[in-house]
Amino acid sequence: MVNETRLIELFKTLITINAPSLEERECVDYVKNLLTELGIEHHEDDAGSKIGGNAGNVIAKLPGTKPEAPKIFLSAHFDTVEPTAGLKIIEEGDTIKTDGTTILGADDKAGMAASIEAVRMLMEQKPEHGDVYLLLNVSEECGLMGAGELQLQDLNLDYGYVLDTGPPVGSFVNRTATHDALDVTFIGKPAHAGKHPEDGISAIQVAAEAIVNMKLGRIAEETTANFGFINGGSGVNVVPARVTLRGEARSTSLTDLDAQITHMIECCKSAAEKWGAKVEIHHDRHYVSYTIPEESPVIQNAFAASRACGFDPFLRTTLGGSDANKINALGVPCIVVATGMDKIHTHEEEVSRQSLIDNARLAYELIVNAAK
């Protein structure tokens, strides 16, 4: 049985520890101290120093009681998309949220609390199970950076589960998109905007033309593109000589993604050529897609565990990324487990107490069922 009071209190504690990306030190230390108190073997890796953060990933191990059982991992991430300093918890019935001045941080403290509670249940109830690992990662929200530094070669993991997507609990993500980043800088020519504007080349005008000519938003059912950041100019009386755009494209189809990126780049080059400006373009593939077949052990175990908890399991596709993209790329099959966190990345984010309990039950069953 889930210790419901303990689980909810752990979740509340975790969300009140401020942990924006690259600044997770306090939360990492709290979890490491908790694991020490529980007598669970763990270590912190050097990911922090590699990605410019103040803390690394925490890898913990609970030795198995059934040597032939699969070696399984549960994973969640420490960081949140915004700082949560001063977070005020509001409870309305079964719902946990904030007063609206900060996000809640259930993404992904809900997954972390459920994973830790599942390990505690294993220690207390002592069912047969294989080796269990917790992969608790930093800096997921800023590009899966912590997971990108994981060293898993010596763990001999069979498969695992990343608790990091929205409801309904009992469903799973087994198919995702490839995500590309596109950073573009237009370089025009400065001039006094009041005296000699005709002598300048406005980088903002060049960028505007490029964007107007682009297909953005929903390109196809499983392909999207967006520019979400623009910065440039030095004053209203100066023709802007430099402006930078940062954007992205995502697709489950590499052919469609490559075509979209090529289109965006061509629009930028054409606009620069038309205005006599220069353009610098940096294209980077942040992470690659994965598709885990339904007949694979990681999914068959997930379905059986979900049904054992009384859920009706099904598979989902998402264009969002998670640490599962990086872990699958490392050769360890994994899927994403739905949690109850809802309205994530907004100040209306919330999670129900029941979904936290259900997640802990499911995480526990994922491990126990694999050993049967």
Q: Which residues are catalytic?
A: 79, 140
Residues 204 and 190 sit within 8 Å (Cβ to Cβ): no
Phi, psi of 226 (to 5 degrees): -160, 145
Sheet holding 217-220, edge to edge: 217-220, 223-232, 242-251, 178-187, 278-287
Question: Could you tell me where the DSSP H helices lie in the chain?
Answer: 4-15, 25-38, 47-51, 106-125, 203-212, 254-275, 297-308, 323-329, 353-370
Torsion angle of the four alpha carbons 153, 154, 157, 158, in this order, in degrees rounded to the nearest 10: 80
Rounded CA-CA distance 105/116 in Å is: 17
Q: What Å distances lie between residue 102 and 23, 80, 97, 185, 371, CA to CA? A: 17, 11, 10, 33, 41
- Residue 8 near residue 27, CB atoms below 8 Å: no
Phi first, then psi: give them for residue 19, nearest 5 degrees. Answer: -150, 60
**Cα angle at 105 between 298 and 19, to 5 degrees?**
100
**Phi, psi angles (nearest 5°) of residue 181:** -105, 145
CB within 8 A of 267, min separation 6: which ones?
Answer: 210, 211, 213, 214
3-state secondary structure of 312: coil
Output the six-digit token pair for 132. 């269990």
Helix, strand, coil shares, percent, the chain, to 5:
35, 30, 35
